[in-house]
Amino acid sequence: MTHKFKGYKTGEKIGVDGSYDVNIWYSYDNDSKTTVVNKKVDYNDLFNVTIRKDADLTEDTDIIVRTLKQPNCIKVDTSGNTINFTVEKELGVEIVGETKMKIAVEEDEEPWEDLDQQADEEVMEEIDQNVQTDYMDKVQ
């Protein structure tokens, strides 16, 4: 795959620099000859990302970029000797950083109530009536 990209922070925005190759195969001379045009396309996309007010993008913040949809040529037109094309792509940006949380700890413990671990006779009788001891024999 020729699609390469890298994410970075720039101020309050996230940037993605990348590139991909476009290969256009076309015919000419009354469809008697064909050729392929190769073009490397560079791009720079900026994303507005909502960040909590108390959060801060530091040098330790990781910017993870994933391609959700690979670059794909969706339209090609010609105008004289010029080939115009439209490519669509979809990127996902993830910000991973350090988060501080404040957790309240209470010193007073509430008393625990011990549960009786013994099953009463009624429950044991119901289990004995509903268990099929020959179940494994029927499966095989």
pLDDT tens figures, 46-97: 988 776 666 666 666 788 899 999 999 899 888 888 889 899 999 988 888 7
| The pairing of beta strand 13-28 with beta strand 4-10 | antiparallel
Continuous segment of H or E residues that includes residue 113: none
- Does residue 69 sit within a domain? yes
Report the number of distinct structural domains present in the chain. Answer: 1
Percent of the chain surpassing pLDDT 70: 77
- Does residue 140 sit within a domain? no
- In the predicted structure, residue 18 carries a pLDDT above the cut 80: yes
- Does residue 139 sit within a domain? no
- Does residue 96 sit within a domain? yes
- Does residue 83 sit within a domain? yes
The mean pLDDT of 110-120, rounded to a whole number, is: 65
- Does residue 129 sit within a domain? no
Domain encompassing residue 11: 4-108
- Does residue 118 sit within a domain? no
- In the predicted structure, residue 31 carries a pLDDT above the cut 60: yes
Token duo for residue 17: 């620099």
- In the predicted structure, residue 19 carries a pLDDT above the cut 80: yes
- Does residue 54 sit within a domain? yes
Q: Select from 65, 19, 66, 11 the least CA-distant residue to 44.
A: 19
Residues sharing a CB contact under 8 Å with residue 1, sequence separation 6 or more, in sequence order: 70
- In the predicted structure, residue 39 carries a pLDDT above the cut 60: yes
pTM over 0.75: no
